Amino acid sequence: MPQEQDRMETIVSLAKQRGFIFQSSELYGGMAGVYDLGPLGIELANNIKKQWWQKIVQERDDVYGLDSQILMASKIWEASGHVKSFVEPLTECKSCHKRFRADHLQEEGVTQCPECNGELTEPRQFNGMLQTHVGVTQEDSDSVYLRPETAQGIFVNFDNVQKAMRAKVPFGIAQIGKAFRNEITFRNFIFRVREFEQMELEFFVKPGTDDEWFAYWRTFCMDFLINDIGLKKEHLHFRDHEKAELCFYSKATTDIEFEYPFGVKELWGIANRQAYDLTQHSTYSGQKLEYLDPATGEKYIPFVIEPSVGVSRLMLAALLNAYTVIEGGRSMTTSANKDAEVVLKFHPSIAPVKAAIFPLSKKEPLTQIAHDICATLRKQWVIQYDESGSIGRRYRRQDEIGTPLCITVDFESVEDNKVTVRHRDTMEQERVAIDELKLYIQEKLQNFSS
Ligand code: GAP
């Protein structure tokens, strides 16, 4: 799929040039599977996390937030099964000695080294958790793991949250946080990385109601991707895991898959983990993680439904989804320029910059008016000020980073206290009074038409 490969390469290069994503430690040759977020990348990531938090925690009265830490007691990972079972098959090329995930190569139908066509060794198992040490000296230090998922921090706090919030089943605990995995194959940019953020919800339910809740969260997650992140429906698919494919503790798992240029791949996993985790932590800690139903006096270990998604995987989907090429350019930009133009059509809720302000000239009083508008709007949104180049060129710069609205202060603005607002997708322009600008933007961002 050379065209798809080109699309991926274009996104990687645009992400770097426009300040979304940089290779970690690039100055020193780069570190595989680790990426830094640039000025626009951090805004995009923050907006995605904000949307998720708002829909999953803030707008509900049955989900509570949590921030458990990366470092946890090692026994937690024994109880969860990660020490024993978080293993992947590793194969090595006998000629170039590069290492690969045998299961990934198998999925792609690759039987020889993808780098040099060399012969591969028989797969051997390795654990995907990263380790570090805590303690003063090497001798008395303890080996601990960097968490490979945020979920366990939620399970071990089940009792704390339930009691502190007097939470009644069904209820959920949500958290956003870093996770680390010793991944070894990195061919798809930020799709699979060693250090990433997860957004995880553990929703505790009464056994017997789990199928219903599983169906509920499956639909909820799909709707969120379409309505709150703006992913196109036709690029998203549910994939129910076959029985043979399910983790041993899972009763049902569905992946929401996205059509990435390198294949249709898992974006968001939704699993019915039953009572596995709470039972394991009850056994290993010696403390029963049960729920006492205050209405019936019944005691039971709740089942859990877990929707879990990676921020970087969602960012990549959002970038690909937004990337639009307009062949021959758009008429409202510089008339002489007939090159293809790139527009990132982000849903306004996740667009890194919400509006840009352009004074038509670099002179007073236009610049002062533009600076004043900027200062006011910045109290609420991320706004860019740009006074260099033609207006057409300034529009193009903002289109390339997906800014929904551009505001021009012109000579008439001095007389009528109005500015021209131009819409990214429709390119429609409207004259708006400066003192109504805030409300206008608020309304437009909420009801954005593409
Ligand atoms: N607590 C369940 C859990 O961690 P998972 O399927 O291993 O399940 C959940 O991971 C989600 O986390 C995935 O659907 C994906 O979005 C993201 N994810 C997992 N590994 C990742 C990696 N190496 N790089 C980026 N995102 C990853």
For the chain, what percent of residues have pLDDT higher than 90? 83
End-to-end Cα distance, the chain: 29
**CATH assignment of 347-446, given 3.40.50.2300, 3.40.190.100, 3.40.50.800, 3.40.50.300?**
3.40.50.800
Residue type, 299: K
E strand map for 282-410:
291-292, 299-300, 303-310, 323-326, 341-344, 355-359, 383-385, 405-409
Give the position, in ligand 1's atom list, of the atom nearest the Cα of 200: 1
| pLDDT tens-place string over residues 356-380 | 999 999 999 999 999 999 999 999 9
Q: Is the CB of 147 under 6 A from ligand 1?
A: no
Q: Whose C-alpha lies nearest to ligand 1, atom 11?
A: 309
| pLDDT tens-place string over residues 377-400 | 999 999 999 999 999 999 999 999
Q: Is the CB of 177 under 6 A from ligand 1?
A: no
Is the per-residue pLDDT at 329 higher than 90? no
Is the per-residue pLDDT at 338 higher than 90? no
Q: Which of 313, 315, 316 to mutate to test the pocket of ligand 1 (most atoms within 8 A of CB)?
A: 313
Phi, psi of 225 (to 5 degrees): -60, -40
Q: How many CB atoms lie within 10 A of CB 118?
A: 15
Which band of pLDDT confidence, cut at 50, 70 and 90, is reported for residue 78? very high
HSE, side-chain direction, 13 A CA sphere, residue 417 = 5
CA distances from 219 to 38, 59, 212, 214 (A): 33, 17, 11, 9
What's the pLDDT at 139?
A: 67
Q: Is the CB of 301 under 6 A from ligand 1?
A: no
Topology adopted by domain 39-72+148-318: BirA Bifunctional Protein; domain 2 (3.30.930)
| pLDDT tens-place string over residues 399-415 | 999 999 999 999 999 99
Q: Write down the mean pLDDT value for the chain.
A: 94
Give the position, in ligand 1's atom list, of the atom nearest the Cα of 255: 14
Residue 313 corresponds to which tokens in the numbers above? 């995987």
| pLDDT tens-place string over residues 231-246 | 999 999 999 999 988 9
| Centre of ligand 1 from the C-alpha of residue 322, in Å | 23
| pLDDT tens-place string over residues 177-195 | 999 999 988 889 999 999 9
Average of per-residue pLDDT across 70-99:
93
What's the pLDDT at 398?
A: 97
What's the pLDDT at 4?
A: 79
| pTM for the whole structure | 0.94
Is the omega angle on the peptide bond into residue 348 within 30 degrees of 0, that is, cis? Answer: no
Spatial distance between the Cα atoms of 410 and 286, rounded to a whole number of angstroms? 71
Which band of pLDDT confidence, cut at 50, 70 and 90, is reported for residue 251? very high
Which band of pLDDT confidence, cut at 50, 70 and 90, is reported for residue 108? confident
For residue 182, give every residue at least 6 positions away whose Cβ sits within 8 Å of its Cβ, in sequence order, or none: 126, 127, 128, 129, 130, 194
Q: Is the CB of 149 under 6 A from ligand 1?
A: yes
Spatial distance between the Cα atoms of 246 and 56, rounded to a whole number of angstroms? 26
Parallel, antiparallel or unpaired: strands 195-205 and 303-310: antiparallel
Is the per-residue pLDDT at 15 higher than 80? yes
Tell the burial category of 330 from Cβ atoms under 10 Å away from its Cβ (0-12, 13-18, 19+).
Answer: middle
Q: Where do runs of H (alpha helix) occur along 136-243?
A: 151-155, 158-165, 210-223
What's the pLDDT at 449?
A: 66
Domain ranges for the chain: 39-72+148-318, 347-446
Residue 378 corresponds to which tokens in the numbers above? 């910045």
Q: Is the CB of 183 under 6 A from ligand 1?
A: yes
CB 274 within 8 A of CB 210: yes
For the chain, what percent of residues have pLDDT higher than 70? 96
Q: Is the CB of 273 under 6 A from ligand 1?
A: no
Q: Is the CB of 313 under 6 A from ligand 1?
A: yes
E strand map for 276-400:
291-292, 299-300, 303-310, 323-326, 341-344, 355-359, 383-385
Residue 387 corresponds to which tokens in the numbers above? 């006074």
| pLDDT tens-place string over residues 261-303 | 999 999 999 999 999 999 999 999 999 999 999 999 999 999 9
